[in-house]
Amino acid sequence: MKRYGRSRLYDTVNRCYLSVEQLRRWAVDGIAFSVIDAETGLDVTRVLPV
């Protein structure tokens, strides 16, 4: 995933935008993912609100 301005989340594999709720469901289901800030290139996975 890439995070763009205003916390927009983009799935680079499926080429679509996702919501934080969708990522929460993935986390609950045990689906591994990481979120990279598009501007800085930093891993911001843990920054997302739970």
pLDDT single digits (tens) 6-47:
779 999 999 999 998 998 899 889 888 999 999 999 998 875
Strands annotated E in the chain: 2-4, 8-11, 16-18, 36-37
Residue 12, judged by CB atoms within 10 A of its CB (0-12, 13-18, 19+), counts as exposed
The set of residues, in sequence order, having a beta carbon less than 8 Å from that of 11 and lying 6+ positions away, is 1, 17, 18
**What amino acid occupies position 29?**
D
Distance CA 7, CA 4 (A): 6
Q: What is the value of pTM for the model shown? A: 0.74
Residue 48 has pLDDT above 70, yes or no: no
Per-residue model confidence (pLDDT) at position 6: 78
